[in-house]
Chain A
Amino acid sequence: MKNIPLLKRTPLSGIYEREGASCTQEAGWLIAKYFKDPAVERDALDRGALLADWSHIGKITLRGTGAADAAGEIDSRARSLPILQATGSGKIALLRLTVDEFLVLCLPGKEKETLRKVANRDVSVLNHHGGLGCLVLGGAKRDLVLERSCAMNLSRDLVGPGAVVQTSVHSINCTLYRTTNLEVLLHERDYSQSLFEALMDVGEEVGLIPTGIEVIPVGFHIGK
């Protein structure tokens, strides 16, 4: 039986097509590099706001009483991580959602490698595959988009880099992971287009534009 490799698509693939995004393949995924003009999009990092699709990253949930130990196999700092805080590096981030639940984010295609580290642990493991959508909000004016989208106080003196917040954004349940420069919004993939459209809609006022991984490459550094 001849196998034809099937392309993995993010929930925004229809929007890529509609907007004429320039796409690339990464770890079997079709993902946007940039939308219109990478120079303009880079400029918006300093002056405006950007929305990128990271739905192709690896997303794994560890749940159960052994979750902290299992997470510790991936990053030893995870064992003592407070609830709703994250550890992050360039390649991997661990978000502690509850006492016994972690969400692991990793580079695209690195799920198996990550899963191997927790293979023998007494923990419930869920590889979300494409089940979770992931939008990333960046740029100097991203707070103006958030305050039009979220009913939660996300001011930086309360919710600093490395914080994890479970909140609704445009009535869609999201897990928000904050780094110094980015807001990572994880949500059920079925809502992705709706969330993207809602954010772009309210962001019009502050110059929000879509972009891709060439302008906002995947990386999980929390920053300073």
Chain B
Amino acid sequence: MPKLFTATVTRIDNHPDFSLADPAGELTFRFQGHQMRARRGETIASALFANGVKLFSRSFKYHRPRGLYACQGQGPETLVTVDHTPNQLADRVVVEEGMDVRTQNAWPSVHFDLMAPANFLVPLLPNGFYYKMFHKPRWAWPFFEKLLRRAAGLGKIDTTGRDVHARYEKCHKFPDVCIIGAGPAGLAATAAALEKGMRVLLVEENERLGGHCLHTVTKVEACQADSLNGLPEHEAVGRLITKLRSHDRLEVLLGTSAFGLYEDNLIAAQRGREFFKIRAQSVVLAPGADDRFLVFENNDKPGIMTARGVERLIALDAIRPGRRAVVVINYDGGYHTAKLLHGAGTQVAAVVDARPSASKSTPEEEVAALGISIHHGQTIHSASGWRGVRKVRLGSIDGQSPFGSIACDLVVLAVGYQPRLNLLSMGGRPPVWDLERQILRVRELPPAVYAAGEVNGHAPFSHLFREGWNAGEAAAMGETDPPSIRTKDEIIPALPADIASGGSNHFICKCMDVTRKEFLASIAEGFDQIETLKRYSGVGMGPCQGKTCHEVVARLAALDTGLEDSDALATTMRPPVSPVTFGVLAGRAHHLVSERRTAMHDWHARAGATFLNAGEWKRPHSYGDPAAEAEAVRKGLGIIDVSTLGKLGLRGPDVLDFLHFVLPGSYRKLREGRVRYKTIVGEDGVLFDDGTLSHLDPGEFYLTTTTGNHGAILSLFRWWLTTLNLKVHLTNLGPVYAAVNLSGPSARTFLQELVERDLSNEAFPYMSCGRTELSGVPVMLFRIGFTGELSYEVHFPSEFGESMWEFLMSRGKPYNLKPFGVEAQRILRLEKGHLLPGVDTDALSNPYEAGTAFTIREQKQDFVGKAFLADFKERGAENRLVPYQLSPTDPIPDDGVSVQDNGRLIGRVTSSRFSPALGRGVGLAWVLASYAEVGSRIQIQLADGRKVRGEVLAHGAYDPEGLQLKS
């Protein structure tokens, strides 16, 4: 065993007050490269402690040594890196076979940390130095910034991608009653809610049910559950648990941390890599309480622990926590801890009781009978020692009168409890100081949220049980939260928030290394409100999120700003209560993003297509060579999957009225069998979408939209139909039909071989539509296209998608039919000068400027966007979207580059590609109207600074007369 591990901590085989559980087997793990043994089921911290490790980490700012404190999985002391994952709480994570555990925030090791001089140097710097220094001279800041960033932070994220395939689960739960915390109150609430017939979910952050009772030997008295009276508390909860466990309406989540409570009783909870979203009708919060945090000189030394922390080590993990202990107390419960320590073989050097000497209570008498010396009217003033406590000084409670010192390696603080208020406070009510109970409390809770147990203040088992039972019943019955009562003898008075005995290492917040001295300096600088104080000094902003320090911070903030205890306010408590990884919140991709695939997707994938994301859709970008694909369309025959187009069916007696209202064009003269290009504008007159409207059958229209706007237009149309008194049947046919576009000079000849319908130009001219059959499948045929070539769009039931595609590909072999993707289509449409809404237009583009005014019939009585369109027309075009072409030798600009005139910005390129057919660059650009004249030369600045000149065209550069299209 290396020297850095002490030999003062050992396992114990038996205890006079407990039957220690038999170990559930052993395992091995590694700590700093050293192999160690552990008991199955215990935490990493317990395993390390049992192996003699007392120094766990170095503090955030001063790099002071830190050791085990509360064994409760909260504080910063136990943050370690486990299997390359940083910031794991060693007193929360259960040790597993083969685990690799490493310390963090220290170099080269926690025992010899080269950053340790910060403990002496940083206090010499001004308060909040990291905000104030290193900015001058200016050139120095980048250097210091790197240095500070390197020094700051906790742990190192593993960027190797080792965990990239880790499974993160999300799960939804819907209990009638959700109970957080499985101490005596939580267990009683569970029993009561079950008795009322509820389905109960019990959430416990530890791996064992029972809470603090698991390590309490005090006998239960006067409990309403008669069978528990006379039993030690650990046996009483054991009996309760046995009774509950087999209940079929109870689900228990162990090792699960509830880290947020949101509206409508939504609870967020985490267990390892699992994320639970719990929506309960009622919630009972019984999270319990933690030992109070006591501020004194060097109160952060390793070896200073809470009473419940050492009790857990003894009773649950069979560990003797130290060799010689001083127990600092202010209530009788501290004698219980002293007794347990004594039974575990720790020499209890003294019990230091802050209360004045009075008639001896039974616990005190029991401890005195063990030969342990008891000092009344005193408390701890300071601790000293290099890497751990070696000696404590005692004195008066006001910190003024020292009485003497005692050598020890363990200081146990049993000075009362502070409720865990984080979840309670998320109902929107801040905790306030309860003068009577001497604790911070949240008195008002949202409807259907109940609080029970030590979260309302310390009380004996029977009282906690009764309060839990009442809360469980009320939660089950939907009644109001029963009032919480504490008797005078149950209240543990608070010691002074800081034992002001001198010295500068009175740590208020151990997570962020904030001392009382810094706290006072921050107030002196004007940060005298609790929230600003928190932000400036960092108190309560560390890994424990104030769970350890919130009471002390609230009390000292009041004291140091001249307020009374009754004015003590805690800082706002927000989720997450405990650290949550991004992996847990994000889950896996499947949980977040759904994908849409066309009926021909698998064929495209087999053909080697690369895909692009078009919204949720996966569309073939290309099959390897977009330029060759475009060329195939120009010279022969191409086929593209256009199933992603939005498709809507409209019919009914008022369908034309509806179309006339929602679209800006006129369609009363659109004959059956004819198609018209249409645009859609918003109520603001802005160009929103385009597509076609086909009069397919008498009174039946078929409308297509762009891929991305299908959902929005469907919703828009449905919305208008709920407000307009029109008889129209609107049907979403998007998923019903797959669609392909056959494009190229050979399109007619090829398709005519497959359909009986006459496709001659006379019988089926440009912008025609009709129904026919293709290999026995009923299809809709449209003579339209986006490529500028002779094109036919075929829509057919989507279940035939892949078969139809294969059929066409097979029959197209003699025509050298080639599939083409979105990239080739983009080249082809830019050669033709066709715009794409959303790509070439934005939220300010109106149809007059975009060149689609021909789709508007302004004379119509009323239609969506009419008023704004009239205004746009009256104002005239300020900008115009124009097609342009470059010289054959010019390089191709990127999409989005600027258009300039002698350095003055006059527009931007929206789409730009090289045209294989024309041998030059073509594109679309927005320019000021004065530069939009046909034949104008516009200067386009490339991304690398070079400039090219484009010629503004009236129409697309390819086939401007549309002869191919109409051939």
- A interface residue numbers (CB < 8 A to B): 1, 3-11, 13-14, 17, 29, 55-56, 63-64, 124, 126, 128-132, 147-148, 150-153, 155, 170-172, 188-195, 197-198, 201-202, 204-205
Contacts and interface: CB of A to CB of B under 8 A. Distances in A.
Nearest to B170: A148
Contacts of B591: 170-171, 198, 202
B674 interface: no
Given A8-B800, A148-B169, A197 B590 contact: yes
Given A129-B797, A153-B279, A9 B599 contact: yes
Contacts of A148: 169-172
A129 B799 contact: yes
Given A29-B799, A193-B597, 16 more contacts: A1-B755, A5-B776, A8-B797, A9-B599, A126-B731, A131-B735, A147-B171, A151-B277, A155-B199, A189-B599, A190-B598, A190-B735, A194-B595, A198-B594, A202-B170, A205-B167
A80 to B, nearest CB: 25
B776 A124 contact: no
A11 B804 contact: no
Given A170-B590, A190-B597, A198-B591, A7 B737 contact: no
B169 to A, nearest CB: 6
A191 B803 contact: no
Given A29-B799, A193-B595, A129 B736 contact: yes
A172 B733 CA distance: 18
B628 interface: no
Interface in B723-741: 729, 731, 733-737
B843 to A, nearest CB: 26
Contact of A63 (B599, B729, B799): B729
A200 to B, nearest CB: 9
A6 B594 contact: no
Given A5-B776, A7-B803, A129-B798, A172 B599 contact: no
Interface of B: 167, 169-174, 199, 277, 279, 588, 590-599, 601-602, 605, 617, 649, 651, 729, 731, 733-737, 754-756, 773, 775-777, 797-804, 807
Contact of B599 (A3, A11, A147, A170): A11
Given A1-B754, A9-B803, A190-B597, A201 B590 contact: yes
B594 A130 contact: no
Q: Looking at A14, A189, A191, which has the most chain B CB atoms within 10 Å of its CB?
A: A189
Contacts of B773: 3
Given A170-B590, A198-B590, A3 B735 contact: no
A202 B945 CA distance: 51
A170 B754 CA distance: 42
Nearest to B597: A193
Given A6-B807, A188-B735, A130 B797 contact: yes
A34 B199 CA distance: 37
A130 B279 contact: no
Contacts of A1: 754-756
A191 B644 CA distance: 12
A55 B799 CA distance: 9
A56 B174 CA distance: 34
B729 A64 contact: yes
A11 B777 CA distance: 18
Contact of A170 (B277, B594, B776): B594
A194 B807 contact: no
Nearest to B736: A131
Given A6-B807, A148-B169, A171-B592, A17 B798 contact: no
Contacts of B798: 129-131, 189
27 contacts: A3-B773, A3-B776, A5-B776, A6-B803, A8-B797, A8-B803, A9-B799, A9-B800, A9-B801, A9-B803, A13-B602, A56-B799, A124-B729, A126-B736, A130-B798, A130-B799, A130-B801, A131-B733, A131-B734, A131-B735, A131-B736, A153-B172, A155-B199, A188-B734, A194-B594, A202-B169, A202-B170
A197 B599 CA distance: 16
Nearest to B281: A153
Nearest to A199: B590
B170 A6 contact: no
A6 B809 CA distance: 13
Contacts of A63: 729
Given A9-B801, A13-B802, A14-B605, A172 B594 contact: yes
Contacts of B171: 147-148
A131 B590 contact: no
Q: Chain B CB within 10 Å — which of A8, A29, A63, A150 has the most?
A: A8
A10 B799 CA distance: 6
B616 to A, nearest CB: 8
A152 to B, nearest CB: 8
Contacts of A152: 172
A88 B754 CA distance: 42
Contact of A6 (B593, B651, B734, B804): B804
Nearest to A187: B735
A132 B797 CA distance: 11
Contacts of A29: 799
Closest 3 CB pairs of A and B: A130-B799, A14-B602, A131-B736
Given A6-B803, A147-B171, A202-B590, A128 B736 contact: yes
B18 to A, nearest CB: 37
A170 B605 CA distance: 24
Contacts of A171: 591-594
A91 to B, nearest CB: 20
A198 B588 CA distance: 9
Contacts of B599: 9, 11, 130, 189
Nearest to B277: A151
Given A63-B729, A128-B736, A129-B736, A9 B594 contact: no
Contacts of B799: 8-10, 29, 55-56, 129-130
Contacts of B594: 170-172, 191, 194-195, 198
